[in-house]
Amino acid sequence: MNPNATPDTPAQAPTRLQLSGITKRYPAVVANCGVSLTVQPGEIHAVLGENGAGKSTLMKIIYGTVKPDEGGVQFDGRPVSIRNPQEARQLGIAMVFQHFSLFDTLTVAENVWLGLDKSLSLTEVTRSIAAKAAEYGLEVDPLRPVHTLSVGEMQRVEIIRALLANPRLLILDEPTSVLTPQAVDKLFVVLRKLASEGCSILYISHKLHEIRALCSACTVMRAGRVTGVCDPRVESNASLSRLMIGAEPPALEHRAVRTGDAVLRVQGLNLARADQFGVDLVDVQFEVRAGEVVGIAGVSGNGQKELLYALSGEDTRAAPAMVQVAGQNVGHQGPRQRRALGLYFVPEERLGRGAVPSMGLAHNLLLTRNEALGGGGWIRMGALQAQAQDIITRFGVKAGGPHAAAQSLSGGNLQKFIVGREVSAQPRLLIVSQPTWGVDVGAAQQIRAEILRLRDAGCAVLVLSEELEELFDISDRLHVMAKGQISPSVDRADATMERIGEWMSGLWHAQVQAHLAQSQALAAQTLDENPA
């Protein structure tokens, strides 16, 4: 024994988690095949792979929501059989799912309370949430009902719930998919602090630069098998892409923008919040022209949800002229009337709004498409299945065919199907919220390329995303949304990450006034130097 070693040194501590030969079969697919994985105490270990590679299934096995068909699990050096999440939590395993496990009708505090020791009162849990949120910079109101939260806010709730359990192993499935760069930086500080205290972290992400910056080990999966283990800190994005998908994703092709008439025009849109936890929309004004992509950046919970409801037709309280599609006043019209004008829509919530979880992919087409409907409303099943199969093939959706239930797909594959459903409708106006949330690097590039292809064909595209890099990749013009208001537009060529980041705090008013004053001063100086 080394006399200089302390009892807590990682070298002496048993392996935190060891998986050996894990196999899980489903009727249509082998999700995991002989997977082995080792995680040390205090290690931040990435699990990398394209959508459908088996990552989420493996994490669910560790957390006890899925039982493996073969293989063994050791935790802190002891063989364990984790039969359910309660047993996982008793061991010290916490998980933040990509698809959230929250009850919409309960408050944040009530949701968190359900997963904690019942010796604590709801009042104590409420105080703990507020304290943990303040400690880690994860702003959330414990008293808000979950159905009033945005996706980004729901993710904060899941992370806080996991942290309150003081885990020994924390599993994070796409934790930064809807966080701003500033929030990601704060989260990384939290994760590094947890790791320094001995907590092990399993980190699933498709953002290669994040994995390289945060993780000290990486297991790569493809088609349910482990294909490699590496130290991501010595890899490049290109080399990680090759390990994950066998190639580097193709570069996006940008062409010169040739815009046409305004297809979407929002003017003087003022809407009071629909519930006490919502955000008022205040004098929102912008337009999207044919042949351009307009991006809207912003921190989750600043009115994006309310704006999307007003644009999609789910909220019809706006005055008719406040929202115009293809020259028609549609403020009072519902989604069906707006689709007739060529508006198609990809919501941020895949399950429940983008797709009905228990329905097959083919039947989910009928939510927004009617090509397979015959006379009298009869469904032509052959045509419907062929249409669904075309989308599955074109967008590389990994699914058990057109009959596969939406909830059986991985998050990224369901996103590809929903985007494919709307894109292939040949819309005149496409509105997309969080287009590549939880989607692997190759599929994300494909979705972005499809958006640019639509733009080049003359479609007007509005993209709301909390991933600034994505908006810089595909947008021709950018706005920022903060506190229910929207900034002036800025051309992508003139936008910087710093400028957009500042505007996300609602600071554009002072900057715009300063820029206007500077322009007026330059004009006056020019006039003085060149009098008529």
What's the pLDDT score for residue 510? 63
Spatial CA neighbour of 431 closest among 282, 299, 270, 323:
323
Decide: 160 and 112 in contact? Cβ < 8 Å: yes
**DSSP sequence for 363-429:** HHGGGT--TTB-GGG-B-HHHHHHHHHHHHHHTT--SS-TTSBGGGS-HHHHHHHHHHHHHTT--SE
What's the pLDDT score for residue 376? 84
Which range (219-233, 378-392, 495-509) has the least confidence? 495-509
Rounded to two decimals, the pTM is 0.69
* Domains, the chain, ordered by start: 17-245 (3.40.50.300), 262-342+427-516 (3.40.50.300), 346-405 (no CATH)
Q: For a pLDDT cut of 70, what percent of the chain falls above it?
A: 90
Identify the band that residue 6 occupies on the pLDDT scale cut at 50, 70 and 90.
Answer: very low
> Above 70 in pLDDT, residue 22?
yes
What's the pLDDT score for residue 517? 56
What's the pLDDT score for residue 7? 42
> Above 60 in pLDDT, residue 374?
yes
> Above 80 in pLDDT, residue 509?
no
**Residues forming beta bridges with residue 23, ordered by sequence position:** 70
Mean pLDDT of 371-386: 92
Decide: 155 and 100 in contact? Cβ < 8 Å: yes
What's the pLDDT score for residue 4? 43
Spatial CA neighbour of 179 closest among 415, 468, 499:
468
491 vs 439: which has the higher pLDDT: 491
Classify the C-alpha dihedral 55-59-64-69 as positive or negative.
positive
Average pLDDT, the chain: 87
> Above 50 in pLDDT, residue 461?
yes
Residue with tokens 């590039």: 445
Which range (105-114, 259-268, 283-292, 382-391) has the least confidence? 105-114
181 vs 428: which has the higher pLDDT: 428
Mean pLDDT of 484-492: 94
